[in-house]
Structure 1
Amino acid sequence: MRVTIAAIAAAAAIAIVTTASAHSFKNGDLEIGHPWSRATLPNAPVAGGYMTIENTGTTDDRLLGGSTPAAGKVEIHQMKMDGDVMTMRPVPDGLVIPAGEMVTLAPGGYHLMLMKPQKPFKEGERVPLTLTFEKAGEVKVELAVDKPNAMGKADHAGHASMKTQ
């Protein structure tokens, strides 16, 4: 069987495009870009969930929370400075995703707290997560687990071609 260089190049291009689109998720007007988490230590009581959520529609939506078989509960939290003290609080009424805008869930700001993980999150694995929105309903995504000290986009060199709008 003869395989040409053009055929190999075409197959490689398809693989790259498939991988790139596999980590962006869309439901109606919402686009979720590169959901990720950090690897956790054994017996860690929580894990974080981070991503971008873009609302390309003309009406606001609201992230209400989520669920995963990998943890007991998923909550939306916000970290912020209160004077010289960093505080973290749940966001019980959900997080508004304004029409025509993007909201970033990242370390040090808004994020998801996955309470009571069933097992440690290991670098390189994917964690299933269902996000619940007021209007868009449920959106199934996967958190790509990165190194324990990852801080965001810059730490995801292996995912550089992934859509992260």
Structure 2
Amino acid sequence: MSLKTFSLAAVTAMAFALPAVADSIIAVDDPYARVSTSMSKSGAAFMVIENTGDEADRLIDVKSDIAKRVELHTHKDDGHGNMSMIHVEEGFEIPAGGKHMLMRGSDHVMFMGLAHGLEHGDVVNVTLVFEKAGEVALEIPVDLERKADHSMKHGEMKVSE
């Protein structure tokens, strides 16, 4: 095989091996996790997810080794004033050029069967999985001091892919 043929074959193989570049660009702002007590067996994470890209994306899964089960959840009213949490299997759409808030009393990440207690200031490693953007790894601080009605801060957050 000539050098020219070998080079062409190598470039072609690399082009097929590279992942497709998504038109969504995901940013995460003001993430925090919490538990009701340091020895709780469940907890939750909240954040603002922004899609600065040209097309909608969807948060379809979440992963973490902090708990036996980690799911996307929301609260649902049964029509009689009773609220319950449910797993949202289809995930959450993040509109093009828009945001989706994961917040208390609404959509959130749920940790069930925590591996150990969480204290204020601990860090939880979480991976968000998007339909188009793929996986986004986060280090989410545990904040047990934030009040339920506390509005989300709008600072920068390190996101690694």
The runs of 4+ residues in structure 1 deviating greater than 2 Å are 39-45, 80-83, 148-154, 160-164
Q: Percent identity?
A: 34
Partner of 1:93: 90
1:77 and 2:73 matched = yes
State how many pairs are aligned: 133
Q: In 1, are the aligned partners of 2:28 and 2:49 still within 8 Å (CA)?
A: yes
1:123 Cα shift?
Answer: 0.3
Instruction: Give the counterpart of 2:121 among 117, 120, 124.
Output: 124
Unaligned runs of 5+ in 1: 1-27
Query: In the alignment, which residue of structure 2 is the partner of 1:136?
Result: 133
1:162 corresponding residue in structure 2: 155
Partners in 2 of 1:73 and 1:148 — Cα distance? 25
SS in 2 for 1:146: coil
Residue identity matched to 2:84: T
Q: In structure 2, do the counterparts of structure 1 residues 148 and 118 end up closer, same or farther at CA, with 3 Å as the change threshold?
A: farther
Q: Structure 2 matches for 1:1-165, cutoff 5 A?
A: 29-41=25-37, 43-83=39-79, 84-147=81-144, 150-151=147-148, 153-154=150-151, 162-163=155-156
Q: Which TM-score applies when normalising by structure 1?
A: 0.72
Provide the rounded CA distance (Å) in 2 between the counterparts of 1:131 and 1:40.
Answer: 23
**Would you tell me which structure has more helix in proportion to its own residues?**
1
Q: What residue in structure 2 maps to residue 22 of structure 1?
A: none
In 2: Cα distance, 1:140 partner to 1:48 partner: 16
Structure 2 residue runs of 5 or longer lacking an equivalent are 1-23
Q: 1:161 to 1:133 in 2, by over 3 A?
A: closer
Shift of 1:151: 2.3
Structure 2 counterpart of 1:30, one-letter code: I
Q: Distance in 2 between matches of 1:72 and 1:127?
A: 14
- What's the CA shift for 1:82? 3.1
Quote the RMSD (CA, aligned, Å): 2.2
For the residue of structure 2 that corresponds to 1:34, the secondary structure is strand
